[in-house]
Amino acid sequence: MTTIRLDISIWLLLIFFTIASIFIGTDNFILTDKLSTIFIIIISISKVSLVIWYFMEVKRAEIWLKLLMAAWCLIVACGLIAIELLG
């Protein structure tokens, strides 16, 4: 896949994730508030990961930076989910 096609595909996926977050966040969705929030956190961290990996060129970086970014996303996601579940 060419770089332009990949960029457009990632951009469309980000748009899809945004629309999914809006849909899940509305009162018309069948999930509980806590579960909706957890799904939105997971979708948001996925979006952050895509932006970091593809648009900030971390995919071409050294392994330590890739691991640092992955760890950061995981820690933030787990922290936010823990706050939601315990709060």
- The band of 1, judged by pLDDT with boundaries at 50, 70 and 90, is low
Q: Measured between alpha carbons, how far is 34 from 87 in angstroms, rounded to an integer?
A: 10
Each residue's pLDDT tens digit, 13-39: 999 999 999 988 887 667 788 899 999
**Angle (CA) 26 73 53, round 5°:** 100
Asked whether the beta carbons of 69 and 58 are under 8 A apart, the reply is: yes
**Residue ranges of domains in the chain:** 3-86
Closest-CA residue to 44 (of 9, 18, 82, 70): 18
Which distant-in-sequence residues (6+ apart) come within 8 Å of 37 by Cβ?
84
pTM across the whole model = 0.86
Alpha helices in 26-62 (DSSP H): 33-50
